[in-house]
C-alpha cells in the first residue's frame, strides 16, 4: 500500500487513481466514497484522501453532501447530451483552425502525397480533392 510521500504526492496519486476509476466506470454513479476506507486502502491519513476528493469535486466527478459524505456524481441524460454537443462543437472548431493553418502549397502537397502514394500502391484511382484543405 502506498505510504504518505513528501510534497503531497500521496494526495495526487489518490486523486489520479480515483479519477481514473470514476471515468472508466469502476466506480458507479451515486456510489458513496468512504474517506476512512480509502485512507486504509492507500495506507495514509484521511487528509490526503479529503484533499483528493475535494479536487475531484472541483472537476464535477464527486459530489459533496454535508453530513452525508462524498459520492460519485450522477450524470443525467441531458448533461450527457450537452457534453456530446459541446464535444462536437469543439471538434469542428479544432478542425477549422487546423485547416486554416494549412495555406501554403508545400503543406497541401505534403498532405496529398501519402494519399497519392497509397492509391498508386493499391491500384485505386486518386479521388479529386482528397486531403486538400
- Residue extents of the structural domains in the chain: 6-72, 77-122
Residue range 6-72, CATH number: 1.10.10.10
Confidence band (pLDDT; 50, 70, 90) for 59? very high
Considering only residues 110 and 47, tell me which one the structure prediction assigns the higher pLDDT: 47
Residue 3 confidence class, pLDDT cut points 50, 70, 90: very low
Q: 7, 48 in Cβ contact below 8 A?
A: no
Q: What is the pLDDT of residue 105?
A: 55
Let me know: does 53 contact 62? Beta carbons within 8 Å.
Answer: yes
Dump pLDDT digits (tens) for 79-115. 889 989 999 999 999 999 999 888 655 455 555 555 5
Nearest to 22 by CA among 36, 13, 11, 33: 33
pTM for this model (two decimals): 0.58
Amino acid at each position: 500500500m502506498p505510504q504518505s510521500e513528501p510534497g503531497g504526492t500521496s494526495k495526487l496519486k489518490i486523486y489520479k487513481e480515483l479519477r481514473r476509476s470514476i471515468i472508466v466506470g469502476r466506480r458507479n454513479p451515486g456510489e458513496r466514497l468512504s474517506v476512512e476506507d480509502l485512507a486504509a486502502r492507500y495506507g495514509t491519513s484521511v487528509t490526503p484522501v479529503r484533499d483528493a476528493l475535494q479536487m475531484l469535486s472541483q472537476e464535477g466527478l464527486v459530489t459533496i453532501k454535508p453530513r452525508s459524505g462524498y459520492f460519485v456524481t450522477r450524470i443525467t441524460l441531458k448533461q450527457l447530451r450537452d457534453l456530446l454537443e459541446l464535444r462536437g462543437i469543439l471538434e469542428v472548431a479544432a478542425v477549422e483552425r487546423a485547416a486554416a493553418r494549412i495555406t501554403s502549397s508545400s503543406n497541401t502537397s505534403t498532405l496529398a502525397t501519402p494519399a497519392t502514394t497509397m492509391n498508386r500502391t493499391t491500384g485505386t484511382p486518386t479521388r479529386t480533392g482528397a486531403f486538400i484543405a
